[in-house]
Amino acid sequence: MIASGEAVQKPLRMSPLKRFVLGRRWFLLIPLTIITAIVATAVLAEWLTSYSPTEISLANRLRPPFWEKGGSLAHPLGTDPMGRDLLTRMIYGARVSLVVAVLALLVGGGVGAALGLIAGYYGGRLDAFVMRVADTTMAFPIILFAILFVVVIGGSLVTTVFAVSLVLWARYARVIRGEVLSLRERDFVAQARIAGCSSTRIIVVHLFPNILNTLVVLLSLQVGWVIIVEASLSFLGAGIPPPTPTWGSMIAEGRDYIATAWWVSFFPGLAILATVLSFNLFGDWLRDALDPKLRQM
């Protein structure tokens, strides 16, 4: 019963805008806008520019951006030492970076998650063997590993994806294995064993859905790492060979012109910075959003 003099307190109702601001979701607008723009330009590259990313035009070499003396809106961000439109090459370079990131994450993340599930569930010698191989893989420098691949096989998109995947799987295997070690002692796994479920069914039906949140967060956080690795390999000449435009190779092409044509290296570097930072911020938010403890806080 409520006393006669007491007022009934109604639950506070916040507007959608206030909940959006207090929930810090507004902070996601910046990285999500950048990610959406990068993906859109990569998909619609042919419709966004009329220039070829590989056609050489020495008559237009090292044209400055349009706001500097000698620049024009025909080449808004200027041209490179071969006279190619810089904005066009950055747009096509975004496609290469995203393709490498998606393929490497699918291959490396898929293999690592599968091995982590198997090693964590079965344990014993199999677990020890997989973890020692993962430790050895993570200890081997990715740059040296990729250069070795280029010397033996030759530089290409497939070689780059394969080299990155061979190092990436170990990161997923270790994290997923740790999750499974905890999950396999839970009551629902014991009940599945009592019910006669096979090990394959327990792994696929009972364990995999419980590590899916962790896997999604890992995928989002590793996108930036893969893009940086691909750009580093291209910068060193151990990635995708020219004339295919990549952000790393574009930075390498402009390192001899830093004093006279700063834009050749600056804009691809800025694209790498914005893309990697956006994916990392989105991954951090996704990790917090999928963690039930942090959601309660």
- CA dihedral defined by 252, 255, 261, 267, rounded to 10 degrees? 50
Give me the pLDDT at residue 13, please.
58
What digits encode the pLDDT tens for the residues 134-193? Answer: 988 888 887 787 778 777 887 788 888 888 888 889 989 999 999 898 888 888 888 888
Res 108 pLDDT > 70 = yes
Average pLDDT score over residue span 242-269: 90
Res 10 pLDDT > 60 = no
Give me the pLDDT at residue 294, please.
55
pTM (predicted TM-score): 0.82
Q: Which residue has the higher pLDDT, 297 or 282?
A: 282
Give me the pLDDT at residue 8, please.
47
Q: In the numeric block, which tokens belong to residue 192?
A: 């599945």
Q: Which residue has the higher pLDDT, 51 or 295?
A: 51
Per-domain residue ranges of the chain: 27-43+88-296
Give me the pLDDT at residue 17, please.
44
**Alpha-carbon torsion 286, 118, 164, 102, what sign?**
negative
CATH topology of domain 27-43+88-296: MetI-like fold (1.10.3720)
Q: Which residue has the higher pLDDT, 145 or 15?
A: 145
Say what percent of the chain tops pLDDT 70. Answer: 89
Count of other CB atoms within 10 angstroms of residue 177: 24
Give me the pLDDT at residue 94, please.
92
CB-based contacts of 168, cutoff 8 Å, min separation 6: 104, 105, 107, 108, 109, 112, 222, 226
Q: How confident is the model at residue 99 (pLDDT cuts 50, 70, 90)?
A: very high
Average pLDDT over the chain, rounded to an integer: 84
Q: How confident is the model at residue 14 (pLDDT cuts 50, 70, 90)?
A: low
Average pLDDT score over residue span 247-271: 91
